[in-house]
Structure 1
Amino acid sequence: MIDNIANTLTDGPSLVFFAFALLAIGGAIFMISFDRVVHMAVAAAFTFLSLAGLYVLLQAEFLAFVQILIYTGAISILMIFGIMMTRHQDGDQGPRNRLQSVLAFVGAAGLFGILFWVIQRTDFNSQPFEPVEDNTKEIGKLLFTEQVIPFELVSLLLTAAFIGAIVLAKREGD
């Protein structure tokens, strides 16, 4: 098991993967740890950029571009505009419960340990991967042939969520 870890850590792409993975995990932890909403939005954008780097390592350039364009750009800017246009009360942040923090850390460490153990024990199929010429074309083919029903269901779900948000916003305004 230790030899497997040593071999993995000496490989260049694996080191870059671990760097992006740690940056993504760190950004996510900072996002849930910060008290100010603007700092949370910046940490979320940092996590989105790290995930785009992971997509580039997986040779999914289209997904990396979409990740940067939609999540890092549009969603982060939308969150910041939402923060700027609403009122926030400073203070009234009660002290954190120490027992809750300790239990959260123990739970996270336990989950990490279980995941590490399972990944080390799993025998992954090492079939040769043959990347396609044009990722975007293949994604389009899959979306409009084999995955057309889930694609349409997601569009209906997003439309229903959009209409629901409008109805809720209209009720709050009245």
Structure 2
Amino acid sequence: MDGEALAFMLLSALAILGGILMLNLRKVVHMVLAVVLTFLSLAGLYVTLSAEFVAVVQILIYSGAISIMMIFGIMLTKHNSKERRTKTPVRTGLVGIGVIVFFITVYYAIENLFYPTEATNLHVENTEQIGILIFSHYVIPFELVSVVLLVALVGAIILAKNKEADE
């Protein structure tokens, strides 16, 4: 087993562990930290795939910004940590059947996957290639996304101010 396979096994195990912890932990803040573990391990997987730009974006956007937004959302809302659904055998069975169907579907999708000839220059200077594509061919969608994010930010501020005035 070479180092790349070992890194893949370790990072994928951490991603799965983070997902399992997120589902099984009781405190919401601990759940967010488990999601951060999953995000960081996915960034490591992107690095092993020679997608450094996507890995950095994964760390900056998801591990940083989205996680902080989740923590602020938790802190600013009222929640009762004792509200938990009870596990019933029917529900557990349906979840188990869903998991089995999902894994069978993924297995057959991977098994029947067609690999074309390898691209030799795909990972060479991929950040530069992404920058050239974004700022030459996709400038308008890039700017529209920034306008939508600005509108969402202004809307969130207006909604927060209205709730403060009502209280």
Give the TM-score of the pair, scaled to structure 2.
Answer: 0.80
Residue 157 (structure 1) aligns with? 148
Q: What RMSD over aligned residues (CA atoms) do the two structures have, in Å?
A: 2.5
Amino acid at match of 1:110: V
- Report the CA distance between 1:44 and its aligned residue: 0.8
Sequence identity (%)? 46
Q: Cα–Cα, structure 1 residues 164 and 112, in superposed 2: closer, same or farther, change >3 Å? A: farther
Greater shift in the superposed pair: 109-118 or 93-102: 93-102
Match of 1:114 among 70, 82, 105: 105
- Report the CA distance between 1:103 and its aligned residue: 0.8
Greater shift in the superposed pair: 17-26 or 120-129: 17-26
Residue 138 (structure 1) aligns with? 129
Q: Give the length in aligned residue pairs.
A: 165
- Report the CA distance between 1:14 and its aligned residue: 3.8
Match of 1:33 among 24, 29, 46: 24
Match of 1:62 among 49, 53, 71: 53
Give the TM-score of the pair, scaled to structure 1.
Answer: 0.77
Where does structure 2 lack aligned partners over 5 or more consecutive residues? none
Amino acid at match of 1:109: I
Alignment of 1:81-120 (within 5 A): 81-120=72-111
- Give yes or no for the alignment of 1:127 onto 2:122: no
- Report the CA distance between 1:27 and its aligned residue: 1.7
- Give yes or no for the alignment of 1:148 onto 2:146: no
Contact 2:43–2:54 at 8 Å: present in 1 too? yes
The answer to which structure, 1 or 2, has the higher relative contact order (CA under 8 A, 6+ apart) is 2
Helix, strand or coil for the counterpart of 2:37? helix
Greater shift in the superposed pair: 139-148 or 59-68: 59-68
Alignment of 1:64-79 (within 5 A): 64-79=55-70
CA distance in 2: counterparts of 1:89 and 1:78, whole angstroms: 19
Amino acid at match of 1:117: Y
Q: Cα–Cα, structure 1 residues 33 and 137, in superposed 2: closer, same or farther, change >3 Å? A: same
CA distance in 1: counterparts of 2:117 and 2:6, whole angstroms: 20
Where does structure 1 lack aligned partners over 5 or more consecutive residues? 1-9
